[in-house]
Structure 1
């Protein structure tokens, strides 16, 4: 690893990590835009992940629920990158994860739920679009209904995830911006940084004086703002970065 990078991040006490689908691919969860990504292999799948389409048609909802019924995330385990971030926290470094992922692997790796902001929601909970009642997704899937209805009011159920055309939770986004602005080191890991407003957290951090390190296989729109850009294997390089912080 670049000695200048090690010198720059050694001893960082406030770290924010914006994580995207790329951090979970080593756990067996496909990303969205990569060579084997969900959108790459099945471009039409985007339709089922668009709020307007989801709400308008039962056929779209059935396609959506089929996509999650046997999703790889149900069987996935945290990988070395997830664990390295959790171990930084155990070592006494102030770590906050701002994740675009909905898989819950950061929490399973050992980070307390309060230290993980799920910007795009969680696949582990389901909510009624009518009465807003919430349910564990496993209970909804166990009913084996292709287009499940709310047990309380009969309304349309939707995973507690943000779909295209749906706004992020304002409180969560506000917390994320506060965390980004307070960080000394901001890691953007495994994110294409093409989805806003989550990607703009990089700008919030840099403007506040943080060191931005982008770790991603492909170029991103924020590479020019980064102090360092790493095109290395995420599962290998994130533990190295975390180890460098505590040297």
Structure 2
């Protein structure tokens, strides 16, 4: 694994700042790597779940999801959205830290679900949980549709978790919005993802055919070598 030295990182950061300033529509694609500082392991990193499993070792999880708090990266993204510098986030993460940071759901596509969000099986409305779900794979929580201030609960609606299993299709609305924003972006920025899982891993390069630019910040190279403008190894 190769690491950029401090001077190279500083230079690339300045270049990234210039790209963000000149961009009219910036989309950030986030993977598990942005949550490692919160104590949540990633998958393919040096201490990732799958990396350690290949060695016959168990991942070190030092915190529960309910106790995990947003990292500096999560809070920086919130600030950039508030300043109209970042316009949308496409996330592969299910840890709910974007939601905890205070970013409105209208700015996020959560492609693989959220352990703090349940969905009604009938009306498809979503509800935020106080504690992380104990199920995965769109299983019933046993709760019924609660409705909202303006809409009554639907009859027969049962809540289930929103976390996808391998056989599930990505949620249509989140995927459609992710595709649209990624395609029209002047700048797609990837943070903490090897982009191995498709179709989410292919979204950041959708803007290339329209002259858009791609920046990738990750601990290791991704499969999209040759598509990015800047690559951070730090």
Secondary structure class of the residue paired with 1:188: strand
Identify the residue that residue 82 of structure 1 maps to in structure 2: 74
Alignment of 1:1-247 (within 5 A): 1-2=10-11, 3-42=14-53, 72-126=64-118, 150=142, 159-232=161-234
Cα offset for 1:203? Answer: 2.0
Identify the residue that residue 48 of structure 1 maps to in structure 2: none
Aligned pair count reads 202
Secondary structure class of the residue paired with 1:192: coil
Q: Higher helix fraction: Structure 1 or Structure 2?
A: 1
TM-score by length of 2: 0.73
Contact 1:120–1:162 (Cα < 8 Å) also in 2: yes
Contact 1:17–1:189 (Cα < 8 Å) also in 2: yes
Q: 1:106 to 1:125 in 2, by over 3 A?
A: closer
TM-score by length of 1: 0.69
Identify the residue that residue 49 of structure 1 maps to in structure 2: none
Structure 2 unmatched ranges of 5 or more: 1-9, 55-61, 145-157
Cα offset for 1:13? Answer: 3.0
Give the Cα–Cα distance (whole angstroms) in 1 for the partners of residues 19 and 124 of structure 2.
46
Secondary structure class of the residue paired with 1:212: strand
Secondary structure class of the residue paired with 1:24: helix
Q: Which has the higher contact order (CA 8 A, sep 6+)?
A: 1
Structure 1 unmatched ranges of 5 or more: 44-69, 233-247
Cα offset for 1:217? Answer: 0.2
